[in-house]
């Protein structure tokens, strides 16, 4: 699995800049908020975490 640090940081910055809450994203993607927080912190680096982060990047077109 590739290192997700850059992607995780870009997602967090995007959410902060656009005032998007983790609750709203977790609700939209149908995952518990704590799981999303673990994905974004790097605490959980499972395939599901990687797939979710990729889906968020694609959905919000984060570059």
Specify the pLDDT at position 50. Answer: 96
pLDDT tens across 3-62, in order?
Answer: 889 999 999 999 999 999 999 999 999 999 999 999 999 999 999 999 999 999 999 999
Cβ 52 vs Cβ 39: under 8 Å: yes
DSSP assignment string, the chain:
----HHHHHHHHHHHHHTT--HHHHHHHHT--HHHHHHHHHTS--SHHHHHHHHHHHHHHT--
23 phi, psi to nearest 5 deg: -60, -45
Full-model pTM: 0.91
């Amino acid at each position: 699995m590739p290192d997700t640090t850059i992607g995780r940081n870009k997602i967090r910055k995007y959410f902060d800049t656009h005032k998007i809450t983790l609750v709203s994203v977790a609700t939209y993607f149908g995952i518990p908020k704590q799981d999303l927080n673990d994905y974004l912190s790097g605490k959980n680096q499972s395939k599901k975490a990687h797939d979710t982060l990729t889906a968020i990047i694609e959905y919000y077109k984060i570059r």
